[in-house]
């Protein structure tokens, strides 16, 4: 089998193929109950091969190498940064998300230039302020903290000393992985000297400077971007030359044109990824960088229009098949759709986003506070949470594990049954915290109410009453106003 055939077979691996190469001692050193369980997780890329320590022993070297080849992705995984502050890009096994869960979410880099003043009297204008703003940007979306990933330092001065100083200052201010952007190898080397221990991404090798940039990538052990705007033949030829020269960690930039060239851009990104994933072209089997920041080269449009173009180009390229995105706008209205779209693309479609099940409290509930129930689908939970916080007051909330399904779907699919609800209430310990015996269930689970009372008896909670709450959590305040405390039966 050729290396390419091995890689193509990687996504079709069955656990048994992997199991046959493992030591098969069921020693549990990997934290799994047995080798087959580990093999199943390995095939799903949920664990690292190296978690099996016995396979690293000399006698298993041949099997280890074979497994490494079998598990290698069609798109090479490239690591930027060092130690705890690294980011992995690429590493894709497939072209389409429905074929296999995407790994390594798109890394979003925001730029600073080496001509920004270090500190400035105008807020938001200085180098250090902008770096801090990039680093501190975060948005909590259904329980996940979404952030930006990298800082790209662009040399607009084209002066080695100015660039070196800016790189030093950025490196002192943030631990985020870095991209150094300069086409002049002398300027690039000055920057690399300043961050020798940080393994930044070098941007970029072109047909004119590739040899010097390759030398720098090898000397400083850094990944290198290959830039060939709108010319895939040149891009491929540069990759061939650079890999033959010994540079292994490459990132491809086929050019990003946000105006008339947008369809060419999407086409180029798609062709690069298709040729690697479906056509078996190893020379395109590297992560791709998109640079919607080029929208800002247009000086005629208003800032809002440029930022809008940057935002839509970013979102298009994240869908078609960028692994790194370089942007300029830090505006919330540009970044929020971007990071939420990225979150959605990289969420495993087989596993709905969920929160932990259990008993949650709001305010300072006591023995007479209402006890409510919902499911552990993130969107459901955070909608209920937001409504309860908005209303104020003191509540207990039992969150039942429906494997991440909403109330309606869980009831329809029998993931939320009377039995499961009774078990969830019992397990939550809520009964020990309240002196009433009333459980408020969502209106969408109304048809389970009678059955729940029976099941509560079965788990040792006799004489409980189920109250059917509103269809939507926005109606909870009104419901409680009218129905709480419950009348004595």
In the complex, which residues of this chain contact ligand SF4 (CB under 6 A)? Answer: 22-23, 25-30, 32, 34-35, 38, 52, 54-55
CB of 9 to ligand SF4, least distance (A): 21
Residue (of 467, 471, 470) closest to 486 by Cα position: 467
CB of 53 to ligand SF4, least distance (A): 6
In the complex with ligand SF4, which residue's Cβ is closer, 3 or 50?
50
E strands in 155-277: 178-181, 201-205, 224-227, 250-253
Give the H or E element holding residue 145: strand 144-147
Question: Are residues 199 and 178 in contact, defined by beta-carbon separation less than 8 angstroms?
Answer: no
In the complex with ligand SF4, which residue's Cβ is closer, 18 or 188?
18
In the complex with ligand SF4, which residue's Cβ is closer, 32 or 111?
32
Which runs of consecutive H residues, i.e. helices, occur in 392-439?
407-412, 418-428
In the complex with ligand SF4, which residue's Cβ is closer, 35 or 372?
35
CB of 330 to ligand SF4, least distance (A): 45
E strands in 17-115: 77-82, 85-90, 107-113
Quote the DSSP letter at residue 221.
Answer: T
CA–CA distances in Å: residue 351 to residues 98, 220, 276, 416: 13, 40, 28, 17
CB of 34 to ligand SF4, least distance (A): 6
CB of 474 to ligand SF4, least distance (A): 49
Rounded to an integer, what distance in angstroms lies between the CA atom of residue 356 and that of residue 379? 13
3-state secondary structure of 188: helix
Peptide bond between residue 321 and the one before it cis (omega within 30 degrees of 0): yes
CB of 12 to ligand SF4, least distance (A): 21
Question: Which residue's structure tokens are 């259904």?
Answer: 142
In the complex with ligand SF4, which residue's Cβ is closer, 23 or 393?
23
Rounded to an integer, what distance in angstroms lies between the CA atom of residue 109 and that of residue 336? 14
CA–CA distances in Å: residue 198 to residues 84, 111, 118, 127, 462: 11, 17, 21, 19, 63
Instruction: Residue count of the chain, please give it.
Output: 489
In the complex with ligand SF4, which residue's Cβ is closer, 35 or 445?
35
CB of 47 to ligand SF4, least distance (A): 9
In the complex with ligand SF4, which residue's Cβ is closer, 16 or 27?
27
In the complex with ligand SF4, which residue's Cβ is closer, 60 or 85?
60
CB of 370 to ligand SF4, least distance (A): 47
């Amino acid at each position: 089998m050729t290396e390419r055939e091995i890689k193509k077979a990687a996504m079709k691996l069955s656990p048994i193929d992997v199991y046959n190469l493992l030591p098969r001692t069921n020693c549990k050193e990997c934290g799994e109950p047995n080798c087959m369980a580990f093999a199943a997780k390995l095939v799903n890329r949920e664990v690292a091969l190296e978690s099996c320590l016995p396979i690293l022993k000399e006698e298993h070297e041949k099997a280890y190498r074979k497994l490494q080849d079998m598990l290698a992705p069609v798109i090479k995984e490239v690591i930027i940064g060092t130690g705890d502050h690294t980011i992995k890009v690429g590493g894709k096994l497939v072209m389409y998300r429905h074929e296999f869960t995407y790994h390594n979410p798109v890394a979003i880099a925001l730029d600073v230039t080496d001509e920004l003043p270090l500190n400035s009297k105008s807020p938001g204008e200085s180098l250090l302020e902008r770096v801090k703003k990039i680093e501190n940007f975060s948005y909590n979306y259904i329980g996940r903290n979404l952030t930006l990933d990298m800082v790209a330092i662009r040399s607009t001065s084209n002066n080695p000393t100015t660039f070196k100083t800016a790189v030093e200052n950025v490196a002192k201010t943030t631990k985020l992985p870095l991209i150094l952007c300069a086409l002049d190898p002398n300027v690039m080397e000055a920057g690399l000297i300043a961050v020798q221990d940080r393994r930044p991404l070098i941007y970029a090798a072109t047909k004119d400077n590739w040899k010097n940039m390759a030398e720098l990538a090898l000397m400083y052990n850094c990944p290198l971007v290959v830039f060939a705007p709108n010319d895939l033949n040149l891009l491929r030829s540069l990759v061939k030359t650079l890999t033959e020269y010994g540079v292994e960690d490459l990132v491809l930039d086929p050019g990003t044109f946000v105006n008339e060239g947008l369809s060419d851009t999407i086409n180029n990104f798609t062709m690069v990824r298709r040729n690697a994933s479906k056509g078996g072209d190893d020379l395109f089997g590297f992560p791709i960088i998109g640079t919607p920041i080029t929208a800002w080269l247009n000086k005629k449009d208003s800032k809002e229009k440029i930022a809008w173009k940057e935002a839509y180009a970013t979102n298009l390229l994240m869908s078609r098949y960028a692994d790194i995105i370089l942007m300029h706008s830090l505006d919330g209205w540009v970044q929020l759709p971007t990071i939420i779209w990225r979150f959605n693309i990289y969420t495993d479609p087989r596993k709905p986003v969920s929160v932990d099940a259990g008993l949650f409290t709001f305010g300072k509930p006591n023995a007479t506070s209402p006890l409510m129930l919902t499911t552990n689908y993130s969107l459901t939970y955070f909608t209920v949470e937001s409504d309860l916080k908005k209303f104020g007051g003191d509540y207990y909330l039992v969150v039942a594990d429906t494997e991440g399904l909403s109330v309606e779907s869980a009831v329809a699919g029998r993931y939320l049954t009377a039995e499961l609800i009774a078990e969830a209430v019992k397990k939550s310990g809520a009964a020990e915290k309240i002196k009433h015996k009333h459980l408020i269930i969502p209106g969408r689970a109304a048809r389970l109410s009678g059955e729940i009372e029976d099941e509560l008896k079965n788990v040792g909670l006799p004489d409980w009453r189920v109250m059917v709450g509103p269809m939507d959590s926005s109606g909870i305040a009104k419901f409680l106003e009218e129905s709480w405390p419950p009348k004595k039966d």
